[in-house]
Amino acid sequence: MYVSLYRKYRPGRFDDVVGQDGIVRVLKNSLRSGRVAHAFLFSGPRGCGKTSVARILAKALNCPNSADGEPCDHCYVCNSISTGECLDVIEIDGASNRGIEEIRNLKAQIGLASFSLPYKVYIIDEVHMLTDAAFNALLKTLEEPPMQVVFVLATTEPEKVPLTIRSRCLCFYFNRLLTSDIVRRLRQVAQEEGFAFEEEALWELARQSDGSLRDALTLAEQALSLQEGNLSMESIAMLLGSTRGKIEEAIKHIPHNPPQAFVKIKEILSKGLSVERFLEMAFAVFRDMWAYKSYGKDFAVELELSDREIKFLEEESPFWKDDVLLSCMRLCGELCLQAKLGVKDDILFGLFLSQMDRVDFPSAGESPPLPLKPKAENVTESFTTAPWQEIMKQAGEEMLPLYCALICSKVTLDEKRIVIEISERRRFDFNLLKLSRNLAYLYGLITKRFNDVTEIILKCGVDEVKYSDEQEQTQMEGDAEGFRQEELPQAFEEEPQPHEEGLKPAVKLAERREVKEEDIVLQRIAMYLNGDVLMYKKLDEEENIEEDGGVEVE
């Protein structure tokens, strides 16, 4: 009878376990010293060896030929445990035996002596699937089992196991397997099975398995069925829809030939690869290029890449700037999230291509690539010089709305002009900055620190506003200078009654005097709300403030 590769090459000894050296060392030392706990909790991602290590532990406890904490894996006891025929090693599926009745049956049998082995071992897989009542029923038995009984609980979601259960177990967290470890194991299996393979195909299988050795062996078995006796990149591409090499080829065309990149990506998706998986693979490529550029060639070893993939990074990384790669990574992450929310593949594909078209690369023969075209909501580009930082600091202290508008804009120095570019999506900021009083205030801050600047230019799409020293400055430029009280009386002035016409000048003077007494309040209103005071009312001492409302601002 044919046996699947992942079952045929399941580890039978501690030395065969891949990527869990720390856990293996602890268990072997415990067995060697005879200090074995009565309950273990193995947790970790799928395919990392939890159930296999539980079986090896059962072998080591009962194997008559065990030496130095390692079972022989050849005797009758080891073979019966491997095939699941041993009556003293009971494996329970927590997903299908999750009720309180099953736990009651277990408690009724646990006190019985073992049939033939020194230890009776209960392995409960997917233990997090047990009900709350079942966990409560298991609690006392797990805390004080019979002397020759050992529990091994395995789960992929340890957070769902009650704390009262976890506190009674010796907990081990199994690591996700490294790509290099999976490649090494796949190579060993290929050599023992005697089928031809391409090294690049092993790396692709290991990467697609996402840290699960079982998944990697299953994929290898499926690929072998496509081309019998040969594990090639062609069979991997047929099985998975695409490979990292094809993704790299498509990305390689983006700086030099965008239409060809479109064709390549469309071809990849037409062969069955989902957009979500494409975005994940593209993110990995952009991430590796960024890491290669940032940390150098020596760091490529830590990325766990094949020789061909490292060569790609060497050739392609110079065409991409760090900020471009960061933006591409951010884009892939955002679109992956939208894919999980159910956005259609065609929409995600269109969004990806449209954003990639925003990348401005050099033409043939030109070197260094340009960064992304201005997109203020994604990347804030501004001066990093000390004078501009002082301007931003003062604006933040005195005119908070202006500071918020400036920090999301692109600011450049063009000869004797300061150009402030604002995204179309932030037109509110543009409308705020173009107010004459705000331009006057901003112009005053800039000219104090940039003596050569004679003009400010605001841009938002096709709209443009200019302000220079030739224009009249009518608004405030600071906390004390910027608010002109002379403009207020006209806004506050009430319509005079016929019999009060003779008192009109006096009323105006009184109103002016009252306004000036509240300079600080009105300055703060303008500073934080950036608004015009349309109505101001001074209450008499006898009036009720709650009824009249005090100072009203619209």
- What confidence score (pLDDT) does residue 359 get? 63
Domain CATH code at residue 227: 1.10.8.60
State CA 109 to chain mean position distance. 48
Tens digit of each residue's pLDDT (9 = 90 or more) over 10-51: 999 999 999 899 999 999 999 999 899 999 999 999 999 999
Full residue range of the structural domain in which residue 220 is found: 179-240
What is d(CA 6, CA 449) in angstroms, rounded to the nearest whole number?
Answer: 70
Q: Please state, in angstroms and rounded to a whole number, the distance separating the CA atoms of residues 374 and 372.
A: 6
Q: Would you tell me the crossing angle of helices 400-407 and 386-398 to the nearest 10 degrees?
A: 140
- What are the CA-CA distances from residue 370 to residues 78, 315, 355, 363, 509 (Å)? 64, 18, 15, 10, 61
pLDDT of residue 507: 42
What is the pLDDT at residue 500? Answer: 44
Same domain, 183 and 166: no
CATH at 456:
3.30.300
217 within 8 A of 228, measured Cβ to Cβ: no
**Number of neighbours of residue 112 by Cβ within 10 angstroms:** 10
* DSSP 8-state assignment for residue 497: P
Exposure string for 10-19, b = 16+ CB within 10 A, e = fewer: bbbbbeebbb
CB distance 183 to 155 below 8 Å: no
Tokens in use for 385?
């010089």
Portion of the chain with pLDDT greater than 70, in percent: 79
Choosing from 127, 143, 173, the residue where a domain stops is: 173
Q: Are residues 75 and 104 in the same domain?
A: yes
The answer on 429 and 338 residing in a single domain is no
48-87 pLDDT, tens per residue? 999 999 999 999 999 998 888 899 989 999 999 998 889 9
Q: How far apart are CA 406 and CA 451, in angstroms?
A: 20
d(CA 182, CA 184): 5
Q: pLDDT, tens digit, for every residue of 288-306?
A: 999 988 888 778 778 888 8
What integer is the mean pLDDT of 267-275?
A: 87
Strand pairing of 410-414 and 417-421? Answer: antiparallel
Same domain, 298 and 191: no
In a domain, 538, yes or no: no
Q: Determine, yes or no, domain membership for 534.
A: no
pTM of whole model > 0.95? no
Helix (H), strand (E) at residue 397: helix 386-398
pLDDT for 377 beyond 50:
no
Find the mean pLDDT for residues 381-407: 75
Helix extents (H) in 271-306? 275-295
Helix, strand, coil percentages for the chain (3-state, nearest 5): 55, 10, 35
Q: How confident is the model at residue 525 (pLDDT cuts 50, 70, 90)?
A: low
- Could you tell me if residue 83 is inside a domain? yes
The domain tally of the chain equals 4
State both tokens at 272: 């069955």
Rounded CA-CA distance 146/45 in Å is: 31
399-421: average pLDDT: 81
Rounded mean pLDDT, 326-342: 87
CB 459 within 8 A of CB 376: no
Whether the per-residue pLDDT at 496 is higher than 60: the answer is no
Mean confidence (pLDDT) of the chain:
79
Same domain, 217 and 190: yes
Q: Does some domain include residue 147?
A: yes
User: In this structure, are residues 185 and 213 in contact, taking their beta carbons and an 8 Å threshold?
Assistant: yes
